[in-house]
């Protein structure tokens, strides 16, 4: 589908790296042995090879020293030795191996997240890693990354053989995988490699019998993808009445997979097609130049979407409306800038519309707070949260209906509730008013990129267009 990355290349690169390491180690061993042999052979000159001399650490040092004290060694000797040795012998445990063992059910993976004030050592002790191992693991990882740069929210993958931890891996934001793996002899080997994550797509096609959700599940569409579809088509398709028996669905999602075959980060919906009865829908997920991701029809037009009025994943009671009111704590009349939705602590809070996180953190009397910027001059704010979704930060993209945090009572608050505000062009508006992000027609650069992208996503893109595409103007000369 044109999205395939050079998996082969990455794995051969990995092998090459290992081979290099091994050759270096071997060279260092050979150099050591040769030096000892030469020292013994030149017994009369032994005084030069002082026994109290510290052991050389690197292969280069050894070579230099033997060059100084001894005539240069013929190259052939080294090559011959290397040729005899079984160079490609798997001595190291590899991350691929561990990942494959997870799929075979021999190992379990446990995700552990670094919370505020925690260090890697905290996680290691939570997993009951023996003290001696902890030191080696931390030392190993320290070789790969400055441990001071580890931040709350980072996810560690613990590979467990029963209760024992046999490997720990971490993905950096730059697509690099860092790992420390336990060898058969009990020692720990650090390991780092970029590009071992591949992006793959999966497609499900089927016919609705009964209801859409059930039929999609029967076709092995994951629940998370079904939820993304329902959110993407919310307001456009009534899943109860528009979809009948015989409606055909066509779903494509993208996911990331490690070399060892482990899926990470969940599946992202790229395309949803629904056909039958009154429906003929094709929607492609596309991230525009401005960073917002939305679903567009084949001609690059998105549908208008109303902002969620109660962005909670549970029934909420309106405990305080928008407008003038007596403040429950301050006891004088103030203008209530949002609505208060009472809900149990830790009820998931959703983004009211597609957008980008503008602020996330404590904000005075608002307590734990999230601000999101949307299209069409809309902004939404969510206050008094108990916590945030772990991976979110400023500039993270969120989709309508996606969980961003959890209800709490932080800041100036009398009990667990969500204080929810909506702004249009920086002015407070009623969250229960008609706040609609208008349909958008992609133009110029975005339209061109969209068409290119859609063609790689779906083999029948050109048929989906079925009609005239607005012409793409030629780029302006400058």
Q: Which residues bind Zn ion (CB under 5 A)?
A: 340, 419
Residue nearest to Zn ion (CB): 419
Beta carbon of residue 458, minimum distance to Zn ion (angstroms, whole number): 44
- The least distance separating Zn ion from the CB of residue 339, rounded to whole angstroms, comes to 7
> Residue 297 and residue 465: Cα distance in Å, rounded?
8
Nearer to Zn ion, 415 or 473 (CB): 415
CA-nearest of 323, 373, 317, 314 to 347 is 314
The smaller minimum CB distance to Zn ion, of residues 340 and 446, is found at: 340
Closest approach of Zn ion to the CB of residue 271, in Å: 39
Nearer to Zn ion, 389 or 419 (CB): 419
Identify the three-state secondary structure at position 240: coil
Question: Pick from 419, 359, 362, 365: which is nearest to 387 by CA?
Answer: 362
Residue 73 or 428 having the CB closest to Zn ion: 428
In terms of Cα–Cα distance, which of 355, 285, 10 is closest to 175? 10
Coil, helix or strand at residue 323? strand
Token reading at 140 = 């190993």
Least CB distance to Zn ion at residue 337 (A): 7
* Minimal distance, residue 417 CB to Zn ion, in Å: 7
Burial 210-234 (b: 16+ CB within 10 A, else e): eebbebbeeeebbeebbebbebbbb
Q: Which is nearer to Zn ion, 340 or 402 (CB)?
A: 340
Nearer to Zn ion, 259 or 340 (CB): 340
Quote the least distance from Cβ 321 to Zn ion, whole Å.
10
Please report which residue ranges of 243-390 form alpha helices under DSSP H: none
To which residue do tokens 């004290």 refer?
69
Strands 368-373, 339-342: parallel, antiparallel or unpaired by DSSP? Answer: unpaired
Question: Rounded to the nearest whole angstrom, what is the least distance from the CB of residue 352 to Zn ion in the complex?
Answer: 15
Min separation Cβ 159 and Zn ion, Å:
45
Closer to Zn ion by CB, 41 or 330: give it. Answer: 330
Query: Among positive and negative, which fits the CA dihedral 394, 397, 400, 406?
Result: negative
What CA–CA distance (Å, rounded) separates 358 from 378?
A: 12
> Phi and psi dihedrals of 288, rounded to 5?
-75, 170
Smaller CB distance to Zn ion: residue 22 or 337? Answer: 337
Q: Could you tell me the end-to-end alpha-carbon distance of the chain, in angstroms, rounded to an integer?
A: 35
Q: What is the 3-state secondary structure (H, E, C) of 255-289?
A: EEEECCCCEEEEEEEEEEEEEECCEEEEEEEEECC
């Amino acid at each position: 589908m044109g999205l395939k990355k050079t998996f082969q290349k990455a794995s051969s690169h990995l092998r090459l790296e290992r081979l290099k390491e091994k050759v270096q180690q071997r060279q260092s061993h050979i150099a050591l042995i040769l030096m000892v042999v030469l020292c013994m052979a030149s017994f009369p000159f032994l005084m030069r090879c002082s026994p109290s001399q510290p052991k050389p650490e690197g292969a280069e040092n050894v070579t230099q020293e033997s060059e100084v004290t001894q005539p240069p060694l013929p190259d052939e000797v080294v090559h011959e030795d290397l040729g005899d040795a079984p160079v490609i012998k798997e001595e190291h445990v590899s991350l691929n191996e561990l990942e494959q063992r997870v799929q075979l059910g021999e190992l379990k993976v446990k995700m552990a997240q670094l919370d505020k004030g925690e260090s890697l050592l905290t996680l290691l002790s939570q997993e009951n890693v023996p003290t001696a191992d902890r030191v080696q693991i931390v030392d190993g990882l320290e070789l790969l990354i400055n441990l001071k740069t580890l931040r709350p929210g980072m996810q560690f993958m613990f590979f467990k053989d029963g209760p024992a931890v046999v490997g720990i891996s971490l993905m950096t934001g730059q697509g690099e995988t860092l790992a420390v793996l336990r060898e058969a002899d009990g020692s720990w080997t650090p390991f780092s490699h970029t590009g071992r994550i591949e992006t793959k797509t999966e497609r499900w096609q089927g016919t609705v019998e009964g209801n859409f959700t059930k039929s999609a599940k029967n076709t092995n569409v994951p629940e998370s993808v079904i939820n993304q579809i329902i959110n993407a088509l919310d307001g456009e398709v009534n899943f109860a009445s528009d979809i009948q028996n015989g409606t055909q669905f066509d779903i494509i999602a993208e996911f990331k997979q490690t070399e060892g075959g482990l899926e990470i980060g969940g599946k992202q919906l790229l395309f949803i097609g629904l056909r039958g009865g009154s429906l003929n829908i094709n929607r492609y997920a596309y991230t525009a130049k401005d960073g917002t991701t939305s679903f567009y029809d084949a001609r690059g037009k998105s549908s208008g979407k109303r902002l969620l009025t109660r962005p909670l994943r549970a029934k909420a009671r309106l405990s305080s409306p928008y407008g003038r009111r007596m403040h429950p704590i301050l006891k004088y009349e103030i203008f209530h800038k949002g609505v208060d939705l009472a809900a149990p602590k830790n009820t998931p809070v959703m983004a009211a519309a597609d957008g980008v996180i503008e602020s996330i953190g404590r904000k005075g009397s608002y307590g734990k707070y999230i601000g999101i910027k949307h299209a069409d001059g809309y902004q939404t704010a969510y206050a008094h949260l108990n916590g945030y979704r772990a991976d979110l930060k400023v500039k993270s993209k969120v989709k309508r209906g996606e969980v961003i945090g959890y209800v709490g009572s932080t800041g100036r608050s009398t009990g667990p509730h969500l204080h929810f505000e909506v702004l249009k062009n920086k002015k407070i508006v009623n969250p229960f008013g008609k706040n609609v992000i208008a349909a958008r027609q992609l133009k110029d650069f975005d339209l061109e990129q969209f068409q290119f992208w859609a063609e790689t996503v779906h083999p029948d893109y050109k048929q989906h267009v079925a009609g005239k595409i607005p012409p793409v103007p030629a780029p302006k000369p400058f």
